[in-house]
Structure 1
Amino acid sequence: MTETTNNTVTDERADLLQTLAKHRHFLRFTTRDLTDEQAGQRTTASELCLGGLIKHVTSTERGWANFIEQGTSAMPDFDSVTEADYARRADDFRMLPGETLEDVLAAYEEVANRTDELVAKLPDLNASHPLPKAPWFEPDAQWSARRVLLHIIAETAQHAGHADIIRESLDGQKSMG
């Protein structure tokens, strides 16, 4: 059972939220003191840039939070994804004209707050939903809210590491070492 004291989560959820907060911090920290142009600059052979990584993590976290709340209907089956969907998804990895780092970070903060509130209020971390059909998921697999949160943490940590490499390539600044 979840206990709260003065709006503070005091069970396993606190560990999950603290871990997620740490990795979110490292991801955001990679953008300190950057211009919008720098946040959109590619520094490696990949298409990744710092602003795009944060956009991607924001979109991914939003999608998984929707999955916790709404179940499978929040995510399309792989078979129904169109070329236009792929093109929109690719835009998550780059800064588009008119986008600012400030706006990207604000959107991430909004999604993070929503996820944190959701985790704090979930009646049961074991509640699960079937995953949508996709080649990267086991057939007929189900993920609990706990498993989804662990996935969000892993995604955030992985991309914080990518962001650290991009930032160091950009101007020599390090975030984690």
Structure 2
Amino acid sequence: MTVSDSVTTGERADLLQTLRKHRAFLRQTTDGLTDAQAATRSTASELCLGGLIKHVTNVEKRWARFAVGGAEAMNAEPIDWTGQFRMAEGETLAGLLADFDRVASDTDALLGTLDLDTAHPLPEAPWFEPGTSWTVRRVVLHMIAETAQHAGHADILRESIDGAKTMG
């Protein structure tokens, strides 16, 4: 039985459906682009579409690890805070999208198994209030917010590259 078969109603289904919708918006911003276009910095920022796909993939993967094992699991792999927003030499849009899809599928399956009320203390970081814990539910809401925010950024980048408007 797949997650979509086992989770068809209720809060969990609503959360997963919303996350999937915003992933689709983000993914759609890359439709028809070449690797060079996906790597283009089309605004004053460091952001490129391939980098946003890579960043959202990494964010989702890290928060999924947090949902299972807390801050220690989340920080088990190092993160390249600067390079995550750029396409590195040898990276392709197709490869980044394949990783994005794999992580999304893994997250969807995982969220079908977790208790949404399970909570873990957040890692120590300047942007988290010390001693705060988040439930799996809050983690999913954060994934949704992060993906939606970056889908909006991606729409602006795409419009700057070739005039295409993916969300409006």
Give the aligned partner of residue 138 of structure 1: 129
- Larger Rg over CA atoms: 1
Match of residue 53 from structure 1? 52
Q: Which amino acid aligns with 1:17?
A: L
The residue number in structure 2 matching 1:121 is 113
Q: State how far apart, in whole Å, the 2-side matches of 1:99 and 1:5 are.
A: 31
List per-residue Cα deviations over 1:69-113 (Å, max 9, x = no partner). Answer: 11121234xxxxxxxx67x22111001111000000000001000
2:165 paired with 1:170 = no
Q: Label 1:15 to 1:41 Cα distance change in 2 as closer, same or farther (>3 A).
A: same
Deviation at 1:5, TM superposition (A): 8.4
Partner of 2:64: 65
For normalisation by structure 1, the TM-score amounts to: 0.89
* 2:56 partner SS: helix
Work out whether residues 55 and 104 of structure 1, in 8 Å CA contact, stay in contact via their aligned partners in 2: yes
Query: 1:10 and 1:100, CA in 2 relative to 1: closer, same or farther beyond 3 A?
Result: same
Identify unmatched segments of 5+ residues in structure 2.
none
How many pairs does the alignment contain?
164
d(CA) in 2 for partners of 1:56, 1:166:
15
Q: Deviations over 1:105-162 (max 9, x none)?
A: 000001000110011111x201000001111001100000000000000000000000
**Structure 2 match to 1:9:** 8
Q: Which amino acid aligns with 1:64?
A: W
What SS does the corresponding residue of 1:41 show, helix, strand or coil? coil
**Shift >6 Å, 4+ stretches:** none
Aligned equivalents of 1:132, 1:110: Cα separation in 2: 25
| TM-score, normalised by the number of residues in structure 2 | 0.93
Match of 1:95 in 2: 87
Shift of 1:11: 2.0
Q: Work out which of the residue numbers 83, 96, 102 in structure 2 matches 1:104.
A: 96
- Measure the CA separation in 1 of the matches of 2:117 and 2:129: 19
Q: CA RMSD in A?
A: 1.5
Q: Which residue of 2 aligns with 1:27?
A: 26
2: CA distance, partners of 1:9 / 1:117: 13
Using the alignment, how far apart are the partners of 1:116 and 1:103 within structure 2? 20
Which residue of structure 2 lines up, in the alignment, with residue 157 of structure 1? Answer: 148
SS at match of 1:43: coil
Alpha-carbon contact 1:9-1:120 (below 8 Å) kept:
no
- Distance (whole Å) between structure 2 residues aligned to residue 135 and residue 92 of structure 1: 20
